[in-house]
Every structure is written in C-alpha cells, then in structure tokens.
A = this chain, B = another copy of it.
Amino acid sequence: MPAKKKKTTATKNDIEKYLDKIVSGDCITAMKKLPDASVDLVFADPPYNLQLGQAELTRPDNSRVDGVDDEWDKFDSFKAYDDFTREWLSEARRVLKPHGAIWVIGSYHNIFRVGTAIQDTGFWILNDVIWRKTNPMPNFRGTRLTNAHETLIWAARDQKSKYTFNYRALKTANDDLQMRSDWELPICTGNERIKGDDGAKTHPTQKPESLLYRVLIGSTNPGDVVLDPFFGSGTTGAAAKYLGRHFIGIERDKAYIAAARKRIARVKPLEGDDLQTQPSPKAAPRVPFGQVIETKLIKPGAKLYSRNKNYSAKVRADGSLYVKDGETEIQGSIHKVGAAVQKAEACNGWTYWHYEEKTGLKPIDFLRDKIRKGMAG
C-alpha cells in the first residue's frame, strides 16, 4: 500500500493573501504555490498556437494586418502544446474547490486539443459555448469562411460536482428565454480597448468585458474567487471587481500587468442591491435586455419608470427589475414586473419602462434600437 500522499502545507486561509492581486510569473509555477481546493472558478484564455504563415497578410487596400506574432504564442509542435495544456489544466483542477468549474476560450487552432485535455484530466464538460462576433475580421483573400466565432468550454471539476449555474439570472437577462449556447457579442474596440501612449493596442487579444460579465453572472456568486492563469490585460479582473467577485490573476508579461493594474483600479464595483440577480420576431435581431446592461447603456442600480411615473423599478446586474410597493416586493424580467405592477396578464417591458434623459423620459426600446444599429459600446 502506498504511503498516504502528504497534504500540501498550504491551508485554505493562505488564499486570502492572493485575493484581488496579480501574481507575476509563469502560470504553472505560480499555480503550484496556491493551496488545494481554494478557488470557485477558473477562467482561462491560453495561447491559441495560431501557427501563422510567414508572409504578411494585407487587406484589399494593401494595408497591413497586425497579426498575433508574439513569442508567447509559439510552440514547437502539437506535442509541446499538449504537454503545456495538460500541465496547467492539472494545476487548475487541483486548485479548484470540489464543486468548482472552469471556462477556457479558444479557436479551432487549439480548442480541440484543449477540450480533449479537459476530458482526459477528469473535468466534466457542461457546455461548449460559441461567442459569435458581431464584427469579425473578414477573410481578405476569399479563401475560407469568415472566421466569425470563438469557442468556450465550460466544465465542472468532476462529473458529480454541484457546479454553480444561475439559470434564472441568465434566463431573465435573455428576455425570459433559456440562455442558449451561442452568445452574440461584439469584439473589444473603442474606449474599452486599452491602448498605449502611441495609440497602439496594449494587448493583441483583449477580450470584451461583456463576455466575462455573462460568464461570471452565470457561473459564480458574489464573493466567489475567480482564478485567471493567463491574465493578460485583466478583463477577468475588471469584470470580477465590477460584479463583487474576487479575482486572482497570473501573468508573465510586466507590461500587461501594469496595464491591468491601472485598468482595474479605475473600476467602480456595483454595490448592495444592484448586485442581486434573479433566483420574439425574426425581422430585427433579438436583443435581450441583459445586453443593454452588458453594453452599459443602462447600469445596474439605475431607475426605470412607467410613462406617467406611477411606478418605478430598479435595474439589477442581470437585467432583472426590482420594485418595492409598500409591503410587497416584485422582481423579474422587464416584462414580468411591468405586468405585475399593472396587475395585467402581460406587458411589453420594452415600451412600458422608461429611463430618464435630459430631454425627458424615453422608452428603453430606444436603447435596444441603439444596439441594433450598432451605436452602443
């Protein structure tokens, strides 16, 4: 009989000193220092191993495409990439609490190898999720399909883990329809994209906060600890802080760390009630109310009013509304709460609820229209 494996000397309390900080260094080395069973969620955006060709890619107007040619994305072979993947996944699994879960994002270059490694490591896949980009880069040579999506894998630590899934919150954010495995979100551009003094992008592959927002709302609770072993520009940290979750970041590149620290320092967390989450036609693209929150056209905590201002409701992080009317509390989707305050059977929340603007009350449908027209963000 083998000797009983020596327990790691680190205790659960040791995790405290890592909370809301960025650890500088290689992700495998750094993870080895973390105690067993100490984090609730891992979100990982590992190198994709793109294997781009030698020649430069140009647009039809001859401008140059700034591809990912960073050293951190270079591996000698599939085997080298697999070895690396299996090692960091094993550490991630050890660090996870028994009921913890992991998210990994990738493209066709690496996601199949990552998914196989996830299964082989003992994780239990819950869903694969497709991030459909509203504004992907076209295929400039007309040689393949426009690569318009990336894939995320969501897996529990074990087949029997009681993983966190805020079904109601996601359903409410999706206009009372079950959240699907395909998520349509824009890529990270504009003000959200971190740039240096020279105007150049600080990180080549910065993820949009809206993506992390949905991941964290759906699969963590406030106060949970989220580990990101490939912290990069710190999107996970920014979203975690905003949503009242703790983060632990690991990053090798000093410049990325500096940019992430600065970025996260500017984030103002949601407070108290605003953090609470909730236990149609084809012609125009469907925009769920949750997306209005994700794109920050309305922030959690904001007030909405009926047109005559007879009723008001508070917006919460998942896109649910909250009304306190004397003794009774009402909460739910914009439609459900609209119906409830009117004591009606049904209600179109998009036209019933209004937000305050300089010029007066405007229906929130106006904001949905903005998103549809691409004027948001």
Contacts and interface: CB of A to CB of B under 8 A. Distances in A.
B165 A151 contact: no
A73 interface: no
Interface in A88-136: 107-109, 111-116, 118-120, 125-130, 132, 136
Contacts of A146: 178-181
Contact of A112 (B115, B154, B182): B115
A181 B127 contact: no
Contacts of A125: 108-109
B145 A180 contact: yes
B342 A132 contact: no
A62 B342 contact: yes
Contacts of A375: none
A360 interface: no
A142 interface: yes
A148 interface: yes
Interface in A50-80: 56, 58, 62, 78
A347 interface: yes
Interface in A146-186: 146-149, 151, 153-154, 165, 167, 170-171, 178-182
Contacts of A269: none
Contact of A347 (B62, B120, B151): B62
A186 to B, nearest CB: 12
A346 interface: yes
Contacts of A181: 145-149
B108 A112 contact: no
Nearest to A167: B142
A62 B346 contact: yes
A151 B128 contact: yes
A186 B250 CA distance: 42
A112 B152 CA distance: 12
Contacts of A120: 78
B127 A178 contact: no
B119 A111 contact: no
A275 B266 CA distance: 59
A10 B138 CA distance: 43
22 contacts: A62-B347, A78-B120, A108-B125, A108-B127, A108-B153, A111-B128, A112-B113, A112-B115, A115-B115, A127-B144, A128-B151, A130-B130, A132-B182, A142-B171, A143-B167, A144-B165, A145-B179, A145-B180, A146-B178, A148-B180, A148-B182, A151-B151
